[in-house]
């Protein structure tokens, strides 16, 4: 959502009854009232309520002029066209006054939220049936590597299936971007440059996957640097998995080089790329409630490095216990098995057994 949603009027716009009963004047005390009519749902009251009068009213019905209290039907003794309250009505009882929910001018939803079920319902309540939104950024996906084959082929020696691009595409959709698949680029400088240049012309951002073996490790950053400014900003992160990450830009367009291993690619997408795409889509940081669990055994990282450790979370009575999985960045099976991951920070590379630590989901 690209603009705040403001209440243009008080809600409710008119006083309404919070119960089924009779609209009366409190000042009439416990005396009997003549029933002078009935408020129907969705209609203005058929008239006003005067002294000594009452009007039948349903939950949500508009409170008639003159009435300042509602006697619930279960507290009312009705006979012969009149009604007697069980006790003296309190002024304002069972009436929702104008503006109790929202006042005119109240900020109800902030720009930057995602238009989810809750937001759409709230906007409809406010009468907002159209609101400016940020355009979905188009993000080109290019996988690189001579070893890649299509997923429907059987890998020969040294070959692997080009699978990351499908996970990346779904993850991009999840953050509100529109993924666009581009053909695989071979490990050839001219072809890689041409592929990036094409993607740049058609997209708002580019995600490259793979290209970190010795011969090609520098192909991607070199191609980016040749194509424009500012070029490569970061090449290599002190993280595990995900060290060979490349962060770059061509003019205003982010170019992100994800590692080729599936575990590394998803971890870096989640921790590094996702916040960048969130900026591109205009989405504010989501106000989620973090999930914590206790380390079943000590988790040991490496000083000066940030580790992203895939974990299983096991229920142990009322406790949730974290069980560390190995970081094997090439292992697809680990990716399938993990419930999430924990971060071991560079400045505190040991988390003791029993410590509570945040567990991040793989997908936001």
By CB under 8 A, what part of segment 322-351 binds a copy of itself?
328, 330-333, 335-336, 339-340
- 228 lies in the site for a copy of itself, by CB under 8 A: no
- Which residue among 36, 94, 139, 216 contacts a copy of itself (CB under 8 A)? 216
**Least spacing, CB of residue 146 vs a copy of itself, in Å:** 4
Rounded to 5 degrees, φ, ψ at 314 are: -110, 140
**Least spacing, CB of residue 325 vs a copy of itself, in Å:** 13
Q: Which is nearer to a copy of itself, 147 or 193 (CB)?
A: 147
Positions in 122-181 near a copy of itself (CB under 8 A): 122-129, 145-149, 151-171, 174
**Least spacing, CB of residue 18 vs a copy of itself, in Å:** 8
Name residues whose C-beta falls within 8 Å of residue 156's C-beta, 6 or more positions apart in sequence: none
**With CB under 8 A, what is the number of residues at the site for a copy of itself?**
101
Rounded to 5 degrees, φ, ψ at 278 are: -60, -40
Q: How far from each other are the two terminal CA atoms of the chain, in whole angstroms? A: 18
What's the Cα-to-Cα distance from 364 to each of 171, 222, 288, 310, 335, rounded to whole Å? 9, 32, 10, 16, 16
Residue with tokens 């290209």: 211
Q: In what order do the strands lie in the sheet with 253-258?
A: 178-181, 138-143, 205-209, 253-258, 246-250, 230-235
**Least spacing, CB of residue 230 vs a copy of itself, in Å:** 29
**Choices 8-16, 191-199, 200-208, 230-238; region in contact with a copy of itself by CB under 8 A:** 8-16
**Least spacing, CB of residue 231 vs a copy of itself, in Å:** 25
Q: Which is nearer to a copy of itself, 118 or 135 (CB)?
A: 118
Rounded to 5 degrees, φ, ψ at 127 are: 75, 15
DSSP at 101: S
- 287 lies in the site for a copy of itself, by CB under 8 A: yes
**Choices 4-12, 191-199, 248-256, 297-305; region in contact with a copy of itself by CB under 8 A:** 4-12
Q: Which is nearer to a copy of itself, 169 or 351 (CB)?
A: 169
DSSP letter for each residue of 256-296:
EEE-SSHHHHHHHIIIIIHHHHHHHHTPPPP-PPPEEEEES
Q: Which is nearer to a copy of itself, 197 or 355 (CB)?
A: 355
**Least spacing, CB of residue 124 vs a copy of itself, in Å:** 3
Q: Which is nearer to a copy of itself, 200 or 278 (CB)?
A: 278
What's the Cα-to-Cα distance from 342 to each of 152, 167, 289, rounded to whole Å? 34, 20, 15
36-44 long-range contacts (CB < 8 A, ≥24 apart) are 39/63, 39/64
- Which residue among 80, 87, 117, 303 contacts a copy of itself (CB under 8 A)? 117
Positions in 29-68 near a copy of itself (CB under 8 A): 39-45, 58-62
């Amino acid at each position: 959502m690209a603009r705040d949603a403001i209440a243009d009027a008080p809600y409710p716009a008119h006083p309404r009854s919070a119960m089924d009963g009779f609209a009366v004047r409190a000042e009439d005390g416990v005396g009997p009232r003549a029933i002078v009519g009935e408020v129907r749902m969705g209609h203005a009251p058929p008239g006003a309520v005067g002294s000594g009068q009452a009007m039948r009213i349903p939950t949500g019905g508009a409170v008639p002029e003159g009435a300042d209290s509602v006697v619930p039907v279960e507290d009312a003794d009705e006979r012969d066209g009149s009604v007697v309250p069980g006790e003296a009505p309190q002024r304002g009882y069972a009436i929702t006054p104008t503006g109790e929910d929202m006042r005119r001018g109240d900020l109800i939803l902030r720009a930057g939220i995602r238009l989810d079920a809750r937001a759409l319902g709230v906007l409809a309540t406010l009468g907002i049936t159209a609101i400016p939104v940020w355009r979905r950024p188009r993000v080109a996906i290019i996988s690189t590597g001579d070893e890649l084959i299509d997923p429907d082929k059987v890998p020969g020696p040294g070959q692997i299936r080009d699978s990351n691009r499908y996970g990346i595409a779904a993850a991009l959709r999840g953050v509100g971007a529109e993924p666009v698949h581009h053909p695989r680029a071979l490990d050839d400088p001219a072809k890689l440059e041409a592929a990036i240049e094409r993607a740049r012309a058609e997209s708002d951002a580019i995600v490259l996957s793979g290209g970190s073996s010795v011969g090609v490790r520098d192909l991607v950053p070199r191609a980016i640097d040749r194509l424009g400014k500012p070029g490569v900003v970061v090449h290599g992160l002190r993280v595990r998995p995900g060290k060979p990450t490349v962060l770059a830009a061509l003019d205003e367009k982010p170019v992100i080089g994800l590692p080729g291993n599936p575990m590394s690619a998803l971890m870096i997408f989640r921790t590094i790329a996702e916040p960048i795409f969130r900026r591109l889509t205009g989405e504010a940081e989501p106000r989620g409630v973090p999930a914590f669990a206790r380390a079943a055994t000590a988790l040991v990282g490496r000083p000066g490095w940030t580790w992203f450790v895939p974990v299983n979370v096991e229920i142990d009575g009322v406790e949730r216990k974290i069980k560390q999985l190995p970081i094997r960045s090439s292992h697809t099976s680990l990716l399938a098995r993990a419930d999430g991951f924990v971060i071991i920070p560079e400045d505190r590379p040991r988390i003791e057994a029993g410590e509570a630590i945040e567990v991040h989901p793989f997908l936001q």
